[in-house]
Amino acid sequence: MTFAIHGLAVSRGIAIGRAVVVASSRMEVVHYFIRPDQVESEIQRARSARNAVIDELRRLQEEMPKDAPGELDALLDVHLLLLQDSALAEAIRNWISERLYNAEWALTTQLEIISRQFDEMDDEYLRERKADLEQVVERILRHMKGAAGPITPPASAPALVGGSAQQVPPEGAAETPLVLVAQDLSPADMLQFKSKVFAGFITAVGGKTSHTAIVARSMDIPAVVGARAASQLIRQDDWVIIDGNEGVVIVDPTPIILEEYSYRQRQGELERERLARLRYTPALTMDGQKVELLANIEQPTDGPAAVRAGAVGVGLFRTEFLFMGRSGNLPGEEEQYRAYREAIDGMQGMPVTIRTLDVGADKPLDKAQPKDYYLNPALGLRAIRWSLADPAMFRTQLRAILRAAAHGQIKLLFPMLAHRSEIEQTLAQLRQAQQELDARGMVYGTVKLGAMIEIPAAALTVRSFLKYFDFLSIGTNDLIQYTLAIDRADEAVAHLYDPMHPAVLRLVAEVIAAANAMGKEVCVCGEMAGDLSMTRLLLGLGLRSFSMHPAQILAVKQEVLRADTGRLQSWAHAVMDSDSPAEMLGI
């Protein structure tokens, strides 16, 4: 039966594929793809765990006290029967060999399919056997964990796909595009799937500028978040269409719907090809104003793709992704130094803006850290507050960045500053990091210093920031969150998350004007920079530097090429001063 689920459009494009529903069972396992040459050993791993559980249950039966209730023995028989079911073993083998799922993933996928069959049974006794099956699978999973140690994706997990929207399944797997459906995905999960096989993402929770959505956009993969109940309504292997432009998910589409969306998908690809011709065109407005279009990146290896996408530098390297999901084993100075150098080298001499660690809120260092670890995570210990609370870790990062700066143009950016005391402490830590390098006789470079303006308090006192810093970068994602008191990751209030709110525009405009008046560089690096409906407005307000997902650059460049800033100026100020800017922009 065809049906649609509505969510938030967070990453444009159309994806059509079969659903891979993860982590909807109560058993949380890691999902990753194996290499084709690992199929046999992975099947063997599943088989060994199953055999070990069979032995364990048999032993339990043998050692059962004489006075134990008879039902217990019968129950163990049921579990043994389930374990020895050849259909179960066969299905698991298929998920491993055809889809290249790791054994745990194969097992939980099959569990979900069988659970559904149990749910549909009329006989109550049989229906209740689902719980037995779950227990058996859980036992196998526990065994795998014990026997195989912590489950992590192999470092050599195949880099299956480049960062284009044209996703292909892993070599050796069936040629069906796959779309990932999950209740929630942490940014670290998303990175794990980066360059892998998924043609699209659907999550039940999340807002437009949640970090999960941001990573999906940076991967240029169609995604819908906040599609409530998606992970319950969509079943394993269902055909699904993701319309990342409209925020709609269509499940089990009819042939005619499929045909319509395949057509739209092809149109999207043609548009991309057309835009690709602008890659080497300088970003100049019609009245000759030069505009800098920069890339936001999450990984040091993202540089070359950013250059290919037409970026003239990196405006925001979110370094926290180097630190996440490492179970507290944070990268040391050498490892970070190598990562920052890789980012510089990848940008072929163009400037790279490195932002110091911004963890906390919806970017926990580890999955183990519960979401509600802090009472109010977005207002708690995150970004610069986190770094200043752990100065040794902060200086390790600063030393690594300073050393990398000897090899290229680095701009150093600090997130979420609000107080003068924070600015002073930050700069003191930087001086200390330089002294530590001097004491070691190490070579390091000079960096321009920048502050992110992402708290209203910072925007309102921007002039004092300009005394300390060489440049500013407006983080509109957080600026909107904190101005409007809307948790950017909460889909329940996503409709109130409004970049066009007059209060937000006024803050953005004032920061741009103040920086321009003092002849200091100012950039917008939040999602607003890549939002085509905002390009002309920002140009009119005097912005000349935009940093965004590489995938957006050429579309924004097209807007720049069509703009006349002389004419936009008075219009932009009228928009900003109006009660309903969105209406004036025709949105």
Site residues (vs Mg ion, CB under 5 A) = 454, 475, 478
Nearby residues of 327 by Cβ (< 8 Å), 6 or more positions away: 366, 368
Give the residue with the Cβ less far from ligand PEP, 134 or 298. 298
Give the residue with the Cβ less far from ligand PEP, 243 or 358. 358
Choose among Mg ion, ligand PEP, none what residue 298 binds, the Cβ cut-off being 5 to 8 Å by kind.
none
Residue 59 DSSP symbol: H
Give the residue with the Cβ less far from Mg ion, 478 or 531. 478
Report how far Cα 38 is from the mean position of its chain's Cα atoms.
28
* Site pattern 425..454 for ligand PEP (x: CB under 6 A): -----------------------------x
Choose among Mg ion, ligand PEP, none what residue 476 binds, the Cβ cut-off being 5 to 8 Å by kind.
ligand PEP
Quote the least distance from Cβ 475 to Mg ion, whole Å. 4
Phi, psi of 416 (to 5 degrees): 65, 30
Quote the least distance from Cβ 478 to Mg ion, whole Å. 4
User: DSSP string covering 154-197, please?
Assistant: -TT------SSS---PPTTS-S--EEEEES---HHHHHHHTTSS
Given the rule CB under 6 A, which of 37-45, 275-283, 473-481, 510-518 is the region that contacts ligand PEP? 473-481
Q: Does residue number 526 form part of the binding site for ligand PEP (CB under 6 A)? A: yes
Quote the least distance from Cβ 207 to ligand PEP, whole Å. 12
Phi, psi of 453 (to 5 degrees): -105, 100
Pick from 525, 539, 541, 560: which binds ligand PEP (CB under 6 A)? 525
Quote the least distance from Cβ 398 to ligand PEP, whole Å. 19
Choose among ligand PEP, Mg ion, none what residue 450 binds, the Cβ cut-off being 5 to 8 Å by kind.
none
Give the residue with the Cβ less far from ligand PEP, 243 or 478. 478
Give the residue with the Cβ less far from ligand PEP, 42 or 531. 531
Give the three-class secondary structure for 413: strand
Distances (CA, A) of 486 to 209, 230, 479, 499: 11, 23, 10, 11
Pairing label, strands 223-225, 248-251: unpaired
Which two structure tokens, joined as six digits, stand for 29?
Answer: 């396992």
Give the three-class secondary structure for 414: strand
User: DSSP string covering 438-471, please?
Assistant: HHHT------EEEEEE-SHHHHHTHHHHHHH-SE
Quote the least distance from Cβ 316 to Mg ion, whole Å. 9
Burial class for 115, CB neighbours closer than 10 Å (0-12, 13-18, 19+): middle
Buried b (16+ CB within 10 A) or exposed e, 389-402: eeeeebbbbbbbbb
Pairing label, strands 14-22, 314-318: unpaired
Q: Does residue number 476 form part of the binding site for ligand PEP (CB under 6 A)? A: yes
Choose among Mg ion, ligand PEP, none what residue 191 binds, the Cβ cut-off being 5 to 8 Å by kind.
none
Choose among ligand PEP, Mg ion, none what residue 397 binds, the Cβ cut-off being 5 to 8 Å by kind.
none
Q: Does residue number 478 form part of the binding site for ligand PEP (CB under 6 A)? A: yes
Quote the least distance from Cβ 249 to ligand PEP, whole Å. 25
Q: Which of residues 181-220 bind ligand PEP (CB under 6 A)?
A: 214
Q: Is residue 483 within 8 Å of 505, Cβ to Cβ? A: no
Residue 531 DSSP symbol: -
Choose among ligand PEP, Mg ion, none what residue 525 binds, the Cβ cut-off being 5 to 8 Å by kind.
ligand PEP
Give the residue with the Cβ less far from Mg ion, 143 or 211. 211
Output the CA angle 226-229-230, nearest 5 degrees: 75
Choose among ligand PEP, Mg ion, none what residue 422 binds, the Cβ cut-off being 5 to 8 Å by kind.
none
Give the three-class secondary structure for 293: strand
Nearby residues of 554 by Cβ (< 8 Å), 6 or more positions away: 275, 276, 278, 279, 309, 310
Give the residue with the Cβ less far from ligand PEP, 5 or 214. 214
Q: Which of residues 328-387 bind ligand PEP (CB under 6 A)?
A: 358
Quote the least distance from Cβ 383 to ligand PEP, whole Å. 8
Given the rule CB under 6 A, which of 85-93, 475-483, 507-515, 559-567 is the region that contacts ligand PEP? 475-483
Q: Is residue 224 within 8 Å of 185, Cβ to Cβ? A: no
Q: Residue 31 belongs to what H/E stretch?
A: none
Q: Which of residues 222-251 bind ligand PEP (CB under 6 A)?
A: none
Quote the least distance from Cβ 149 to Mg ion, whole Å. 36
Choose among ligand PEP, Mg ion, none what residue 31 binds, the Cβ cut-off being 5 to 8 Å by kind.
none
Choose among Mg ion, ligand PEP, none what residue 535 binds, the Cβ cut-off being 5 to 8 Å by kind.
none
Give the residue with the Cβ less far from Mg ion, 478 or 559. 478
Q: Bridge partners of 9?
A: 224
Distances (CA, A) of 100 to 88, 171, 397: 17, 9, 37
Given the rule CB under 6 A, which of 20-28, 385-393, 404-412, 470-478 is the region that contacts ligand PEP? 470-478
Quote the least distance from Cβ 473 to ligand PEP, whole Å. 8
Give the residue with the Cβ less far from Mg ion, 111 or 383. 383
Residue 284 DSSP symbol: B
Choose among ligand PEP, Mg ion, none what residue 318 binds, the Cβ cut-off being 5 to 8 Å by kind.
ligand PEP
Catalytic residue numbers read 211, 525
Rg (CA), the chain: 26
Q: Does residue number 298 form part of the binding site for ligand PEP (CB under 6 A)? A: no
- Helix count (H) and strand count (E) of the chain? 22, 16
- What amino acid occupies position 5? I
What is the three-state SS of 520-585?
A: CEEEECCHHHHCHHHHHHHHHCCCCEEEECHHHHHHHHHHHHCCCHHHHHHHHHHHHHCCCHHHHC
Q: Residue 305 belongs to what H/E stretch?
A: helix 303-308
Quote the least distance from Cβ 161 to Mg ion, whole Å. 28
Binding site for ligand PEP (CB under 6 A): 214, 316, 318, 358, 454, 475-478, 525-526
